[in-house]
Amino acid sequence: MARLADPDLALRRRREILEAAEGCFRRRGFHQATMQEICAEARISPGALYRYFDSKADIIAAISEEKRGEAEVEFRKLYSEHAFIDALLAVAARVLRKFSDHQTGSLFCDIAGEAARDPILARRLAALQAKSMDSFAEAVADAQVRGEVDPELLPRDVAYSLMTFIDGMGVRVAVSDEPPETILHQFRTVAERYLAPAK
């Protein structure tokens, strides 16, 4: 990325590009959306765009970074008012509803595929992932104090496992036509039995 003199303009341009790109990606998918479309929507030329972002992957990484924490904030709000398992289900439902339009879902899969082969993108996504996990593990530890989660379990393990299951549901909902509710019901059963304190 070229050096930029005016930080205000740079931030504004980046924002315009990110908003245009998000719209395009959401409508057409990561691979299907073209840089030309993004440029047109952001009212900028391709040459200028590449002054603000290194590549298409750089744009999707920046969008992911922006979005991080949205589900996290939602979960914290829900958890402050509801049981752990209910807050968990509500947040999973939120994510899966987004995925079930097959657009956000395909984007998630595309990004994962891209990251699997692009170590720089992978590292950036891993950093986001780690932050979300830390935050979620804290809530798990709290739920253990509340007696809602078996204290024998390690909070980080619980956070990791539940997030992995949510990823799996994401793939399934993205690809198939079944409604999120079906799989969410399975998730509740798995989570309840997994988390239940030993009697």
Partner DNA sequence: ACCTGAACACCGTTCAAGT
Question: Under the rule (CB under 7 A), what is the footprint of DNA?
Answer: 3-6, 9-10, 13, 33-36, 43-48, 50-51, 55-57
19 binds, among DNA, its own copies, none (CB under 5 to 8 A by kind): none
Q: How far is CA 88 from CA 84, 128, 142, 162, 184, in A?
A: 6, 19, 14, 9, 10
Choose among 115, 96, 93: nearest CA to 85.
93
35 vs 93 by CB, closer to DNA: 35
In terms of C-beta density within 10 A (0-12 exposed, 13-18 middle, 19 or more buried), how is residue 70 classed?
Answer: exposed
Q: Give the one residue of 40, 71, 109, 128 binding its own copies; rule: CB under 8 A.
A: 109
6 vs 152, beta carbon nearer DNA: 6
- Our CB check for DNA shows the closer of 50 and 165 to be 50
Phi then psi dihedrals of residue 121, to 5 deg: -60, -40
Residue closer to its own copies by CB (options 13, 106) is 106
127 is a contact residue toward its own copies (CB under 8 A):
no
C-alpha distances out from residue 24 to 32, 112, 179, 192, 193, Å:
9, 18, 25, 39, 41
No. of helices (H) and no. of strands (E), the chain: 10, 0
Q: Which stretch binds its own copies (CB under 8 A): 17-25, 34-42, 85-93, 190-198?
A: 190-198
Smallest gap from Cβ 32 to DNA, in A, equals 8
**How far are the Cα atoms of 18, 21, 33, 43, 110 from residue 64, in angstroms, in the given order?**
10, 12, 16, 22, 13
Which residue in 25, 52, 136, 187 binds its own copies (CB under 8 A)?
187
Closest to its own copies by CB, 45 or 134: 134
Q: Which does 57 bind (CB under 5 to 8 A by kind): DNA, its own copies, none?
A: DNA
- With residues binned 3-state (H G I as helix, E B as strand, rest as coil), the percentages for the chain, rounded to 5, are 75, 0, 25
Which residues bind to its own copies, rule: CB under 8 A? Answer: 29-32, 102-103, 105-110, 112-117, 122, 125-126, 129, 153, 157, 160-161, 164-172, 174-177, 183, 186-187, 189-190, 193-194, 196, 199
